Amino acid sequence: MCGITGLIHFDGKAVLPDVLKGMADAIAHRGPDGEGFWVEGNVGLGHRRLAIIDLSPGGHQPMVSMDARYVVTYNGELYNYRELRVELEKQGVQFRSRSDTEVLLAAVTTWGVDKALARFNGMFAFALWDRRARTLILARDRYGVKPLYYAAQGGTFSFGSEQKAILALPGFRRVLDKPALLEYFTFQNIFSSGTLIEDINILPAGHYGILDLGASNPELRLTQYWDFDFSEPERPLRDEEYREELDRLFRQAVNRQLVTDVELGSYLSGGMDSGSITAIAAQSYPYIKTFTCGFDLNSASGIELAFDERSKAEYMSYHFRTEHYEMVLKAGDMERVLPQLAWHLEEPRVGQSYPNFYAAKLASKFVKVVLSGAAGDELFGGYPWRYYRAVVNDDFEHYVDKYYQFWQRLVPNTALKSVFAPIWSDVKHVWTRDIFAGVFKHHADQLYSPEDYINHSLYFEAKTFLHGLLVVEDKLSMAHGLESRVPFLDNDLVDFAMRCPVRLKLNNLAEVVKLNENEPGHKSQIYFERTHDVKQILRDVMDRHIPAEVVKAAKQGFSAPDASWFKGESIDFVKRKLLRDDARIYEVMNPGAVRGLVNEHLSGEQNRRLLIWSLLNVEAWLEQFLDAAPSQAQGVS
C-alpha cells in the first residue's frame, strides 16, 4: 500500500526531479517507509512506500522490468500474487524479489493488460510506462478500492493517488468545478468521474487508460474491463447449496487477505459484517487486535441513544479473544478535526466521515493493516428501505424517476436554483437526473419483476454509494499510514453475490416502507421490526460464526449523534461556520436559502444533519483547496 504519482510534458520538456519530488511529498503520509523516483526526459514516475509485503529493498519502486523496457509505480495488494507467480514462473519468467509489485509488472508485460487485469484479485492502482512504445497505462481495480486521479493542463499530463499530488504542480490552476458541486449537493456524492477541481478526474473503477505519446493529440483513452452485473441465476441452486457456498467463499476471502509481513488487525463495530470478518480472522490469527469507536451520548436523545455499539463490540471481543482497543468521540472532536479531515478527504463524499478518521487513527497506533466490513451491505441487500421505493414501476424510465427522487439526499432538484442562485447561470445546463440515469449503462428497457428492479438498485449502489465509501475509507486510513482491506470485495465472493437470488437476500419484497433518509438507525430499526429482513442469507451463514444476538439484531450504521450535537453542544460551531456573512460557501450559495435550511434544524423543525455536515465539509474544503498553497492543514495530529 503506497502512494503513486507521475507527470509527462507533451512538449518534450524534461521533467524536473524537484517537481516530481514535490508531488510525492504532498502524499508522503501514504508512504512513510520510503520514496523512489524514475525520470527519463519528459516522463517521470514517483512513489511513496508503505511496506506491507516484502519489506526488503527488493520491493522498492518505481520498479523496472528485467528487460528494462517497462517501469511501474503501483499502489495496492494482489491477494493471489503467489498463484500468479507460479504460473509466470512456469512460462519462464524470473523474479528478483518476493513482492507482489514484481508479479504485477511481469503479469502485465507477459500477458497483456486485459488478461492480467482479468486475473488480478485485489485492490490496486498503477501506472506502467512502456519506454519503447512510449505509452502510459493507468489502471484501477474492479471495485475502486484504490483511487487514482489524473489531469491534463498546460501541456502537462499528471496523475496521483490523491489530488494533492497534482495540485502540487507549480502553476496548476485551481478552479471550482461548479457542476460537480451541484452534483454533490444533490446526491451527497459525485457519480461522474469529475471532482470539485476543474481538469482533475478520477479514473473510473474497473477501467484502464492508455496515453500514447506518439499520437498527434495525446489523450487518455479509457477502456472498461469489468463491471458489476447483478442478475437472477438461470438455473438456481438449492437454498442450502447457496448457504454452504457463501460460507466457503467468505472464509476463503478473509483468509486470503491475511497475507502480510506486518501486524494486522480488524475493525469491530459491534455489527454482523465486521464481527464475522473478525471471527474468521481470529481462527488463523490468535489474539488479533480489534478497534472500535463509540460516542458520548450524554446529550443524545431518541434513536441516537442506540448509536454507541461499544458494549456489543466488547462482547464479541471477549467471544473471539481479541486484543481490543476503543475510543469515545464527543461533539468537540468533530470541530477539532474538520480542517485536517477536509485536507485528507480532498472531496466531500457520502456520510459523516469523521468517526472513520478517528477509527483509523486508533488502529494505526497498533497495526499497519486493518480489515474492514465495507461492501457487505451493497452486495447482500443491506438497504431494503431504499430498494423497495422503486419495485413497482411502469418501465425503466419510471423506475429511474422514482429512485432519483429518493436519492436527492441534500438539496432537492426543485430547490437547486434558489440555493445556488449566485452561480446558477453558470450551471443551469446541469441536469442531475441525466447524471443519475447515466449510471445505468446496461439495462433492459422493460423490467418485469421486483427482483429485476432490486438488482438494478444493487448495481446502482455498488457503482455510486459503495464507491464513495471506498474513497473515504482509502483517504482516511492512508492519512495515518494504515492499509485498509475489504474482504467482502474478493473476486470470487463478489461473483457469488451478484448471482445470488434476491429472495435469499430479502424476504419481504412486497413490503414498501416510507422512511426518512436523514434518520440513521431509525429507518432500519422500523423496517427490521416490521419484516426481520436485511441480508438474510448472510445472517443465516454468519449465525455459525458470531453470537446469535448480533446476527438477529437490527442493522445499525456507524454514525455519531450529530442531529443532537448540531443543535446542542456544537450549535455555536455550526453558527460560527455557516451563518456568518463571510462564510466561503456564500460565494456559490444563496445566504438566505442556506440559513433558512440550517435554522430549520437548529430550531428542531427538521432534521437536516446530512446537509449541515455537508455544508461544514464544503466550507472547510473551500478554505483548504481554493486558497493559494497546498500546505498541510492545521488540526489534530
Annotated active-site positions, please? 2
- The three grid cell numbers given for residue 391, joined into one nine-digit string: 419495485
Place of cell 487486535: 289
Going by C-alpha positions, the residue among 264, 311, 271 that lies closest to residue 288 is 264
Coil vs helix vs strand at 6: strand
Distance CA 395, CA 469 (A): 30
Distance CA 624, CA 632 (A): 9
Distance CA 116, CA 46 (A): 23
DSSP string, 269-315: -SSHHHHHHHHHHHHHSTT-EEEEEEE--TT--GGGGG---HHHHHH
Positive or negative CA dihedral for 585, 590, 595, 598? negative
Q: Which helix (H) or strand (E) holds 625?
A: helix 609-625
For the beta carbon of residue 601, count every other beta carbon within 10 angstroms.
Answer: 20
- The three grid cell numbers given for residue 152, joined into one nine-digit string: 491534463
Q: Are 125 and 4 in contact (CB under 8 A)?
A: yes
Distance CA 610, CA 606 (A): 11
Distance CA 519, CA 563 (A): 9
Give, in order, the Cα–Cα distances in Å from 204 to each of 142, 164, 347, 497, 526. 9, 18, 15, 22, 36
Distance CA 213, CA 368 (A): 38
Cα angle at 176 between 172 and 177, to 5 degrees? 110
Coil vs helix vs strand at 146: coil
Residue 74 pairs in a beta bridge with 126
Three-state secondary structure of 227-259: CCCCCCCCCCCCHHHHHHHHHHHHHHHHHHCCC
Going by C-alpha positions, the residue among 149, 145, 141, 73 that lies closest to residue 474 is 145
The set of residues, in sequence order, having a beta carbon less than 8 Å from that of 255 and lying 6+ positions away, is: 280, 284
DSSP assigned state of 498: H
Distance CA 240, CA 249 (A): 14
Going by C-alpha positions, the residue among 483, 527, 481 that lies closest to residue 507 is 527
Distance CA 517, CA 188 (A): 12
For the beta carbon of residue 221, count every other beta carbon within 10 angstroms.
Answer: 11
Distance CA 385, CA 528 (A): 10
Distance CA 469, CA 463 (A): 11
Distance CA 610, CA 409 (A): 8
Q: Are 75 and 3 in contact (CB under 8 A)?
A: yes
AA identity, residue 340: Q
Distance CA 525, CA 506 (A): 15
